[in-house]
Structure 1
Amino acid sequence: MVGAGVPESRRFALDVSMLFIASIASMLVGFVIVVVMGRYLGPDDLGLYRMTSTVYGIIMLGASMGLPAAVTKYTAEQGADRGAMSRSVSAGILLSLAVGICLTLLMAVFPELVSSPFNMPGLAGLLRLLSPIYPFALVGGVLLGLFNGIRKMKYYALSVMIQSGTMVVVTLGLIVAGAGVAGAVIGIASSWVASSLYLLLMSRQFFSFTLECFVPAAKNLMRFGFQMLTAGAINDINNELDTLLIGFFLTSTDVGLYAVAIMVSRFFGLIPLSVQKITYAATSSHWQENNHAALHTMIDKSMKYCSMILILGGLCVAFFAHPIVCGLFGDEFQAAILPMQILLTGMVIRGGVETSVGGSIAAIGRPDLVMGVSAVMLVVNGSLNLILIPQYGILGAALATFVSLVGGSALYVRLLVKYLSFKVDYGWYGRIYGLAFMGVILYVAGARIADATLLGVFILLGFAIAIYGLLLSNEDKNILKDLIYSFVSGR
């Protein structure tokens, strides 16, 4: 366990490495499930599964009331006061449990309330099958917020691993047994049950359940949580809007094709999301301590390192998109390649400059600003999707999402500059994106006259060498070596 004497840079690296490994496991589980369903059940059933999980995610977002983020903020600030922390966590658990039970009853009896807008027979039955999950998932979310706030990321990461392991075993077992999409839905439910039970068991050493000061604690959580909920709800709806509108305008087969494009592109959210969980809590702490120098350094390094890794990885997947998609899913998913490349570009840009530090504005007590950015993105994304999907199908959805991702990233960076007095190294970003653009041009032009695979490998090697030689300072090189050592050794 990391103690108080461990340097912050080492602790930061260790926290990120644990979350990244857990996130990789979670993404791989989801990837395996999508591949198996795409291969053996086809794009139609895959689309039905994707729509079920999308609707479930939106319901969960509203039901959470922003409590996990609120618990993270308050426990990060109250870490030395076990009594105050216990009151916050206890209030969060009770609120989540009450909402979860109500949702379970509602979705078990009336799943058609949310399934009726979609022309997908079987969706209501799958939502009913998923109904018991809500109390477990909501309470589990609050406990994850606790571990994030007190920076006990080992427990956070282990819970994600348990959830992922349970999901893959149950899902694949039931699919092999012939349960089809229902087996995958049962896998989602069982994974949250296992994870939540583990979190309840491990969290007992960090807080004591109490009803003391329940009302004021609940009010504080809900006040901040509602602001986070609004911002998070808009952001998550924006993330799922393309899938929802494809399901509305097109068919479950189109949803299945788009699910593959999303799955591959969203893999690039793993690293920045892992970093964000740490920068959110660390920003709250640095801001309270008025340590702006440390805060600015953390933001600068987080954005730059994530950008380097994501751009290099994004070029790799973009160059070899055809063998990746067709090799894993089959030629019938070839239509997902171009939408995937478009989404990938947007995810890489957003992941580096926004997602990695996406909680920092909220952590200084201004979630309303994040909500504003998310609202603008939602309006842009929704308008473009409504225009482009009927004419261009899933390609139009990808283009609409790309525009909203890049535009939202620019707005968020502006907030960092204005409210955190952060200075953006625009020259550095101009150089790295310029190098990436040159690499793409060389690949597109050269692939017509040379072996595309060999050319792609040489361009990637050249890009990596250019980054190391031109864009990294000696301090950066030492920090990256420390990060890599932490990822590999877990020390």
Structure 2
Amino acid sequence: MFQLKLNKTMKNFQWSLISLITASFIHLMLRIMLGKEIGPSGLGIYTLIFTIYMLGMQFAGFGIGSALTKYIAEYRDNLSEIKEFISAGILGSIVSGSVMGLFLYILSNIISTLFFHNPSMINLLKFTALCFPFIAVQKAVIGSLNGLMDMKRYAIMNITQSISILIFTVFFVHSLDMNVRGAVLGFVIPTILVGLVSPIFIRNYLKVTQKFANKILKEFSLFGFYVVLTNSIGIISTEIDSLMIGYFMNATDVGYYAVAIIFIQGLTLIPDAIQRVTTPLIATFYGKRDIESIRSLIKETVTKVVFIILFIDLIMIIFGKTLIRIIFTDEFIPAYPPLLILLIGYSIYAAYVSIGTCLASIGKVQIIFKISVICAGLNTILNVILISKFGLIGAACATSASLVFTTLTNMYFVNKYTSKKYLGIPDSNIKSYHTPLVK
């Protein structure tokens, strides 16, 4: 029985890793192509549009995907309850996604001209707004599959979207020479198509009953409210550097910084894949009040991830400049200094990413929100001060310092709220049937 659980866990991790590797590889290939086809300035504009898209996506989904992962994992043995959650989640996603899409469409002029001083972004943001209802539905489906631990279908959906984005972008930018507009359409159109077909993956769980509306209002609203604010603040915290570079400097500098970020994202690839597996595991253990297994899983996961990250760091330090020259061109060499500084913060943060949804899995979304507000505030202040004085180096320093602070703060509360004292569980009720993530 133990071996079966271990095998299933490893297979889920493998599918999650395959999904993330595919997405990250395609993301890298797209940035390389865009850097060569449209240059640093075009890449900078695309990066700003995509950052706004990522931020808007959080509000569009309203945290419903995360809520579905948590509740489905907790009610794993109650099929009727799971169907209620999934059905409510899909309907709620359509509503929240439509509202966010309309909101961005209306504000596209203000964002482009008053903040970034770039009128060419107006129509690009309007195109982006069209895909929000569809990405919201897709996130709900992905959250459901994650909660069901159906990582194979989870991976298939993500891989399909990533490949579609690559194909459409290459066609629009390289074949039709549509420049930045083609790059934006390259991710908007596939997002709409995948969002339309994604409910097929969970069609057997769709069920409308009298409890339908109540599920949205009672089960998802509060949890989703804190999740969406927390995730949005998290994106602002990690993307504020690019946004502030766009505000204080120009699109070309955003393009340089984007190249540094592309390499840095490799640090969180494996931890992010592991997180897809630890999230439902922690929620399941918490549902059974198996606190010892939660703590063991956290310790084991973080320790092993640290060694992996240190090895990747060594490669980036030695070969980083050479890789920039080979993959991009000498024109992007200004990305190397901020890359080295970002390595510090992201290396520490990457270890936390592997168990980053622990507090959400045990229902402490309010705590996550408060931590995120403080960390995002610190990051914003540091970026405003340092970018205006030191440019790209200042952005990297501000981000690294903020990530270190964020990691230490979150790990403190993870340790605090997974202790027997704060969970109020007597020793006699503590169970221990932990299934290791990696043997």
Structure 2 length-normalised TM = 0.92
Q: Which moved more, 1:255-264 or 1:117-126?
A: 117-126
Output the CA distance in 2 between the equivalents of 1:172 and 1:139: 26
Say if 2:26 is the partner of 1:29: yes
Task: Give the deviation of 1:375 after TM superposition.
Answer: 1.8
Q: Deviations over 1:222-271 (max 9, x none)?
A: 11111212221211110111111111100000110111111110121111
The offset of 1:5, in angstroms, is 7.5
Matches within 5 A, 1:126-165: 126-165=124-163
| 1:26–1:161 Cα contact (<8 Å) kept | yes
Of residues 80, 89, 95 in structure 2, which corresponds to 1:92? 89
> SS at the partner of 2:149?
coil
Query: Residue 119 of structure 2 aligns to a residue in which SS?
Result: coil
Instruction: Describe the shift of the 1:43–1:342 C-alpha distance in structure 2 as closer, same or farther (beyond 3 A).
Output: same
CA distance in 2, matches of 1:109, 1:421: 47
1:307 aligned to 2:310?
A: no
Root-mean-square deviation (Å): 1.8
Give per-residue Cα distances to partners, 1:139-183, cap 9 Å, x unaligned: 000010100111001011111100111000010111112111111
| Partner amino acid, structure 2, of 1:359 | T
Is the counterpart of residue 46 in structure 1 residue 43 in structure 2? yes
- The answer on 1:253 being equivalent to 2:255 is no
Separation of aligned partners in 2, 1:22 and 1:45: 28
**Equivalent residues in 2 for 1:79-478, closer than 5 Å:** 79-108=76-105, 110-116=107-113, 117-176=115-174, 177-205=176-204, 207-219=205-217, 220-352=219-351, 354-421=352-419
Tell me if structure 2 keeps the 8 A contact 1:266–1:344: no
- Report the alpha carbon displacement of residue 109 of structure 1 after superposing the two structures with TM: 5.2
CA distance in 2, matches of 1:314, 1:363: 30
Q: Give the distance between the partners of 2:22 and 2:95, measured in 1 at CA.
A: 31
Q: 1:14: how far off?
A: 1.6
Kept in 2: contact 1:265–1:341 (CA 8 A): no
* Amino acid in structure 1 at the alignment position of 2:7: R
For residue 479 of structure 1, report the CA deviation from its aligned partner.
7.8
Q: 1:106 to 1:382 in 2, by over 3 A?
A: closer
Once the two structures are superposed, what CA deviation does each residue of 1:265-288 show, in whole Å capped at 9, x if it has no partner?
012111111111221111111112
Is contact 1:269–1:351 with CA below 8 Å preserved after alignment? yes
Q: Is contact 1:58-1:237 (8 Å) kept?
A: yes
SS at match of 1:80: coil
Residue number among 47, 50, 55 corresponding to 2:52 in the alignment: 55
Preserved contact between residue 141 and residue 201 of structure 2 (Cα < 8 Å): no
Alignment partner of 1:41: what SS? Answer: helix
- Asked whether the equivalents of residues 322 and 337 of structure 1 are also in contact (C-alpha less than 8 Å), the reply is yes
Amino acid at match of 1:253: T
What residue ranges of structure 2 are gaps of 5+ in the alignment? 421-435
Aligned with 1:53: secondary structure? helix
- Assess, with a 3 A threshold, how the Cα gap between structure 1 residues 249 and 370 changes in structure 2: closer, same or farther: same
Gaps in structure 1 of 5+ consecutive residues: 423-477, 483-491
Structure 1 residues 254 and 85 mapped into 2: Cα distance closer, same or farther (>3 Å)? same
Check whether the contact 2:40–2:255 (CA below 8 A) recurs between aligned residues. yes
CA displacement, residues 79-104 of structure 1 (integer Å, 9 cap, x when unaligned):
22222112211111112112323344
**Residues 1:182 and 1:257: Cα distance change in structure 2 (over 3 Å):** same
Q: Which stretch shows the higher mean deviation, 105-114 or 128-137?
A: 105-114
Higher deviation after alignment, 247-256 or 287-296: 287-296
User: Which string of whole-angstrom CA distances, capped at 9 and with x for unpartnered residues, describes residues 90-148 of structure 1?
Assistant: 11111211232334444445521432311123111111122221111000000101001
8 Å CA contact 1:243, 1:255 repeated in 2 = yes
Scaled by the length of structure 1, the TM-score of the pair is 0.82
Counterparts of 1:3-18 in structure 2, within 5 Å, are 7-18=4-15
Superposed displacement of residue 209, structure 1:
3.0
- Residues 68 and 142, structure 1, Cα contact 8 Å, conserved in 2: yes
How many equivalent residue pairs? 421
Greater relative contact order: 1 or 2 (C-alpha under 8 angstroms, separation 6 or more)? Answer: 2
Q: Which amino acid aligns with 2:45?
A: L
